[in-house]
Amino acid sequence: MSGYIRKRSDGSWTIEASAGFDPVSGRRQRTYRTIRGTKKEATRALAALVAQIDNGTDLEPGRVKYAQLAERWLSHAGTRVRATTLTRYEQLLRLHVIPRIGALPLARLRPAHLQWVIDAMVEAGQSPRSIIQAYRVVSSSLRQARRWQLIATNPAEAIQPPRASRPNLQIPDAADLSRLLNASEGSVYEVPLTLAVASGLRRGELLALRWRDVDLDTGRITVNASLQWHKRRQRDGSSTKELVLVEPKTDRARRGISLPRFGLEALKAHRRAQNERRLALGEAWIDKGFVFDRGDGRPIEPDTFGHAFVRIASKAGLKGVRLHDVRHGYASTLLHQGVHPKVASEALGHASVAFTLDIYSHVVPGLQEAAAQALDDALGNRSAVKLPSSE
C-alpha cells in the first residue's frame, strides 16, 4: 500500500492511502482522512492508516460493501497463494459474485443472497467445479471479514454447495499415445510431446525443465519448477504478464523420474540438435538453459504448446483429447502394465497413493478383474468349500 500527504488551505492535512483496485472496474480505490496538527503528526497518521488498510481494520463495520471486502481480501490473498490461483479467484468474483452481491453491505448479507449466486451459476450452465470454487472463494473472504471483525457470523456457513462430480476423464491408451507421437513427427513439438508421454509431466513442469535437471547418463530427470504466467499489477491499474518459474507446491511434486529408453534417446538427439542451433545463432541465442525452447533459447509459452497439441490431436484423429490427458494416459499405462500404484503415484507427484487410486481405479478397465484373477491364481487350487452337515 502507498500513501500521500497534502496540505489544506486551512492548515490541516489530507492523507491519502491506496486501498487496492476495484475487482470489477480495475480502478484504484483510495481512502482519505483529514488530520489537524503538524506534518509530523500527519505522517504518523498516514503510516497508521496504511497499516490499518494492510490488516483490514480501516474498514468501518456496517458500511462496508461486499465488493470492497472482495478487493481487500484479494490483496491479502495475493501474499499467500500463487499468481494463477489469485487470477482464478479474481475471475470467479468478477464474473459471478460481484455483479450479484457486490453492492450489498456486509451487514445485510444473508445466506439467501449467497444461495442466489449459486443458483444463478447453475442456471447459467456453469460446471459444478466452478460453482464449488466460487462458493469457497466467497466463504474464505467472509471468514477473513469475521477475523477483521467486520461481521459477527459467516453467512456462507449456512449454505450447502453442490457436490463435486467426478470428471469424465478422456484417457488415451497406448495405441492413442503412439498415434499422437506419429502425428507430431517432424514438428518442433515432437520431442516435448515424446517426453510428456514418457514422463507424465504436467505442461508447466515439462516446459520448465532445464538441462541441469536432466542426467543423460542415467536417464533420470528431476522436477524442480513449473513454468507459469504471472500477472503483475501496475500502479495505474493495468496489468502485465510475464513467464516465471514457480517452485512445486509440495515436496512430493519435487521429484525424480526415470525415463524409458525411447524418451532418453529423443532427449539425446534433441540436445545435439539444440547445440547446433545455438552455435548457428551465436549472440542471438538467449541462454536460459531450457530443454525446450522457441528457437532462440527462450522457453516455449504454455498456451502455445497447448494450442499446438490441439492440432496434433486432431491430426491423429483424437479430437477432444487435451494435452493434460497425456498425463492420464501415462498413469493408466503404468497401472495397466502392473507398475505398483505407489511407484506410479511418486512419478506423478501426487499427494498420496490413495489420491492416485481414487482418480484412476474406476477408469482403468480390468484392474478389478486383474485383482480377482491374482487371488484366483494364488488360491484357486483350493478344493470346494465343504459346508457343515445339517445333521
Q: Give me the DSSP letters along 162-201.
A: PPPPPP------HHHHHHHHHHHTTSTTHHHHHHHHHH--
Tell me the torsion sign for CA atoms 239, 240, 241, 245.
Answer: negative
pLDDT level of residue 24 (50, 70, 90 thresholds): very low
Count Cα atoms within 13 angstroms, Cβ side, for 58: 22
How much is the average pLDDT of 137-159?
91
pLDDT, position 1: 46
Where is average pLDDT lowest: 33-37, 179-183, 188-192, 319-323?
33-37
Using one digit for the tens of pLDDT, what is the confidence trace for 107-125?
Answer: 899 999 999 999 999 899 8
pLDDT, position 377: 78
How much is the average pLDDT of 191-203?
96
Share of the chain above pLDDT 70, in %: 84
200 has pLDDT over 80: yes
From the number of C-beta atoms within 10 Å of its C-beta (0-12, 13-18, 19+), residue 372 rates as exposed
CA distances from 386 to 117, 267, 270, 390, 391 (A): 63, 61, 65, 12, 14
How much is the average pLDDT of 245-257?
88
pLDDT, position 59: 61
pLDDT, position 76: 82
Euclidean distance between CA atoms 3 and 153, whole angstroms: 32
pLDDT, position 246: 87
Domains of the chain are 3-55 (no CATH), 66-158 (1.10.150.130), 174-371 (1.10.443.10)
Using one digit for the tens of pLDDT, what is the confidence trace for 259-312?
Answer: 999 999 999 999 999 999 999 999 999 999 999 999 999 999 999 999 999 999
Asked if residues 41 and 35 have their Cβ atoms less than 8 Å apart, the reply is: yes
Return the closest-CA partner of residue 93 out of 161, 139, 127. Answer: 139
Euclidean distance between CA atoms 114 and 105, whole angstroms: 13
Quote the mean pLDDT of the chain: 85
The conformation of residue 99, written as its DSSP 8-state character, comes to: H
Using one digit for the tens of pLDDT, what is the confidence trace for 72-119?
Answer: 898 888 777 877 788 899 999 999 999 999 999 998 999 999 999 999
391 has pLDDT over 60: no
pLDDT level of residue 248 (50, 70, 90 thresholds): confident
